């Protein structure tokens, strides 16, 4: 099950990993939900819980009875503060993109000993959210626990308090290398609230316990396994599985991930590594400037019909890989540090006037995004990601564009040390829910 920003999607797969059933539920109106207290039936947590039960109910009964393992992914960095016994939310859900400056300031105080440049220093980090609750909202006599979005929803099934996974916990400060919290975290005055049981993604937590959940997951041996974040789940779904395989998500933003033998972390440019499997790292980052620029100028239909008029040779005649374009996405080393979207759109507007037609203009945007993508992978490599890029899977709206994929392949292959062409392909499965179903399968077989 994937709990994204706008809805929940379920993928059911069989023993061989073939998807047999899919269903999705859009969240009811969430515009005001995050201003509601946790006890309100229109709060974010209530909306998520509704989507959980509704989507399980949507699965035909005879299929539901055969489910043997479930895992859930959620948006990374979204956290919920809950009562340690009942699991009931004590505060509004703190969303992945919400900034909690008070919490970040608290963590910046000398007594906390958070290392400079550490991922948790960001005001959107899960730890800043916990510090915010401690410093601002916490009624002192009550104890509380932090759960990530995915943890809380799977808690609704297994009812073991304080279980999380290595991927969701990265922004909390957990170190997947040593598989422990750093000592400075354990010394924080609210350390008691941290998840106690930390497992790799796709590990067995326990059988379904909650009576409501048992109504839908009626197989008494059905287990719940740890999930991951929504973006790692989408990566797992893509089919990428060995060092040098990567996946670029060309949705509104450009997010990239590369399987590497070495871990690469640099919060100053937004590059960080998730642990994947027993021995590899998933090095990745994101840019502001992806499909949202295309959307500022073209509808999806226009994009496709204009693309059909583009000749690959023309792209090269346009010298799109020239120096002139090189600073278009300046400093897009992989973090949210590139041009602001509005600036990039302004830049495109002035560029449009110099183009003889819209097809040429579109080529320029395509090639500029391709170059930003190349820079992301080149940087990861320069920073020590051990494997050279071999194959790039693609998800998101841009994956449908085969011409753009070809162009990206040419761009990514420039100066490729191995001399071979880097294949750019659309991912077979693009839904995060499918990747999370693979984790549920892994957990089932680890018994
Ligand atoms: P989101 O991140 O918003 O979920 P999607 O994964 O749905 O985004 O991708 C939407 C993006 O894909 C849009 O910005 C759109 O411009 C782009 N897109 C859609 N169709 C095409 C196409 N045929 N070629 C290139 N880009 C496309």
* pLDDT of 356 over the 90 cut: no
Angle at 405 between CA 332 and CA 263, to 5 degrees: 45
**Structure-block tokens of residue 131:** 């510090």
Question: What pLDDT does 144 receive?
Answer: 96
* Cα of 402 from ligand 1 centre, angstroms: 13
Tens of pLDDT, residues 236-251: 999 999 999 999 998 8
Residues 6 or more apart in contact with residue 250 via CB below 8 angstroms: 290, 291, 369, 394, 395, 396, 397, 398, 399
Percent of the chain with pLDDT over 70: 90
Within 139-242, strands assigned E span 145-148, 163-165, 197-199, 204-207, 223-225
Interatomic CA distance for residues 371 and 328, integer angstroms? 9
**Structure-block tokens of residue 377:** 């992978």
Question: What pLDDT does 194 receive?
Answer: 98
Instruction: Please report which residue ranges of 133-279 form alpha helices under DSSP H.
Output: 149-158, 183-186, 211-216, 230-238
**Structure-block tokens of residue 397:** 């709206």
Ligand 1 residue neighbourhood (C-beta within 6 Å): 251-252, 291-292, 294-295, 300, 303-304, 396-398, 400-401, 404
Q: Which domains does the chain have, with CATH numbers?
A: 2-231+434-445 (3.30.420.40), 240-427 (3.30.420.40)
Query: Mean pLDDT across the chain, nearest whole number?
Result: 88
Residue 140: band (very low, low, confident or very high) from pLDDT cuts 50, 70, 90: confident
* Cα of 69 from ligand 1 centre, angstroms: 32
Interatomic CA distance for residues 198 and 443, integer angstroms? 15
Angle at 436 between CA 435 and CA 441, to 5 degrees: 100
**Structure-block tokens of residue 58:** 């949507």
Mutate to test the pocket of ligand 1, among 255, 256, 294 (most ligand atoms within 8 A of CB): 294
Instruction: Please report which residue ranges of 327-428 form alpha helices under DSSP H.
Output: 341-354, 358-382, 402-413
Interatomic CA distance for residues 225 and 111, integer angstroms? 37
* pLDDT of 62 over the 90 cut: yes
* ipTM for the complex shown: 0.95
Q: Which atom of ligand 1 is the closest one to the Cα of 252?
A: 2
Residue 239 Ramachandran class (φ > 0 left, ψ -120 to 50 alpha, else beta): left
Question: What pLDDT does 313 receive?
Answer: 58
Mutate to test the pocket of ligand 1, among 341, 344, 397, 426 (most ligand atoms within 8 A of CB): 397
Q: Which atom of ligand 1 is the closest one to the Cα of 292?
A: 14
Do residues 104 and 128 lie in contact, with contact meaning Cβ atoms separated by under 8 Å? yes
SS3 12: strand
* pLDDT of 396 over the 90 cut: no
Question: What pLDDT does 339 receive?
Answer: 58
Tens of pLDDT, residues 283-320: 998 876 778 889 999 999 999 999 998 876 566 545 44
* Cα of 67 from ligand 1 centre, angstroms: 33
Tens of pLDDT, residues 155-182: 999 999 999 999 999 989 999 999 999 9
Tens of pLDDT, residues 83-126: 999 999 999 999 988 999 999 999 999 999 999 888 898 899 99
Q: How much is the average pLDDT of 133-148?
A: 89
**Structure-block tokens of residue 198:** 């930390």
Residue 333: band (very low, low, confident or very high) from pLDDT cuts 50, 70, 90: very low
Residues 6 or more apart in contact with residue 424 via CB below 8 angstroms: 391, 392, 394, 405, 406, 408, 409, 412
Question: What pLDDT does 178 receive?
Answer: 95
* Cα of 399 from ligand 1 centre, angstroms: 8
């Amino acid at each position: 099950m994937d709990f994204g920003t706008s809805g929940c999607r379920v993928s059911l797969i069989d023993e061989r990993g073939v998807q047999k059933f899919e269903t999705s539920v859009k969240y009811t109106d969430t515009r005001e939900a995050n201003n509601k207290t946790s006890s309100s039936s229109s709060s974010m947590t209530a909306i998520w819980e509704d989507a959980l039960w509704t989507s399980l109910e949507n699965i035909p009964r005879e299929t539901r009875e055969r489910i043997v393992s479930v895992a859930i992914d959620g948006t990374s960095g979204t956290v919920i503060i809950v009562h340690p016994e009942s699991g009931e939310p004590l505060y509004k859900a703190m969303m992945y993109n919400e900034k909690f400056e008070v919490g970040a300031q608290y963590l910046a105080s000398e007594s906390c000993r958070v290392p400079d440049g550490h991922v948790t220093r960001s005001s959107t980090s899960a730890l800043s959210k916990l510090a915010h609750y401690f410093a601002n909202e916490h009624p002192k006599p009550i104890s509380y626990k932090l759960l990530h979005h995915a943890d809380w929803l799977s808690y609704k099934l297994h009812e073991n308090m304080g279980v999380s996974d290595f991927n969701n916990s990265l922004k909390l400060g957990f170190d997947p290398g040593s598989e422990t919290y750093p000592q400075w975290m354990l010394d924080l005055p609210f350390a008691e609230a941290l998840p106690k049981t930390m497992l790799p993604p796709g590990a067995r937590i326990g059988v379904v316990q909650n009576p409501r959940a048992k109504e839908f997951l009626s197989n008494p041996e059905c287990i719940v396994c740890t999930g991951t974040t929504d973006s790692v789940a989408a990566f797992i779904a893509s089919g990428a599985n060995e060092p040098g395989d990567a996946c670029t998500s060309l949705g509104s933003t450009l997010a990239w991930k590369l399987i590497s033998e070495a871990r690469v972390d640099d919060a100053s440019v937004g590059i960080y590594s998730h642990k994947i499997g027993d021995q590899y790292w998933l090095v990745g980052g994101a840019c502001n400037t992806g499909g949202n620029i295309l959307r500022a100028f073209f509808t999806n239909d226009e994009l496709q019909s204009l693309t059909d008029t583009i000749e690959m040779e023309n792209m090269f005649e346009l010298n799109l890989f020239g120096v002139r374009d090189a600073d278009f996405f300046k400093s897009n080393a992989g973090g949210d540090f590139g041009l602001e979207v509005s600036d990039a759109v302004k830049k495109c507007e002035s560029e449009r006037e110099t183009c003889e037609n819209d097809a040429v203009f579109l080529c320029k945007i395509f090639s500029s995004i391709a170059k930003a993508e190349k820079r992301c992978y080149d940087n990861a490599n320069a920073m020590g990601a051990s494997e050279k890029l071999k194959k790039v899977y693609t998800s998101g709206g841009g994956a449908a564009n085969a011409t753009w994929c070809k162009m990206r392949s040419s761009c990514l292959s420039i100066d490729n040390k191995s001399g071979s062409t880097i294949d750019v392909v659309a991912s077979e499965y693009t839904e995060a829910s499918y990747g999370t179903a693979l984790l549920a399968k892994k957990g089932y077989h680890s018994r």
